[in-house]
Amino acid sequence: MAGRGGARKRTVNSEKLIDDEYRLKRKRNNDAVNRTRQKKRQEENETSKRVEELRKENDQLERKVFYN
C-alpha cells in the first residue's frame, strides 16, 4: 500500500514554537478587539453628547419661536 504514511510526530521544540505563535496571535487579536471596543465606546459617548447638545439647541429654538 504505497502512499500511506503515518502521522508526523511533533517534537517538543516545534510544539513550543506553535504554542508561542498561537499565544502571540491570540494576544494580537485580543489587543485589536480591545482597541475596537474602546473606539466604539468613545464614538457612542461622542454621539450621546452630540444628541444632548442638539436637544438643548432644539429646546432653545422652540422657546424662541413660541415666545417671540
Q: What is the per-residue DSSP string for the chain?
A: -TT-PPPPPPPHHHHHHHHHHHHHHHHHHHHHHHHHHHHHHHHHHHHHHHHHHHHHHHHHHHHHHHH-
Q: State residue 68's pLDDT score.
A: 72
The dihedrals phi and psi of 43, each to the nearest 5 degrees, come to -65, -40
Task: Give average pLDDT by consecutive 10-residue segment, the chain, 68 residues.
Answer: 61 86 97 99 99 98 90
Q: State residue 4's pLDDT score.
A: 62
pTM of this prediction exceeds 0.75: no
Using CA atoms, how far apart are residues 45 and 39, in angstroms rounded to an integer? 10
Q: State residue 2's pLDDT score.
A: 56
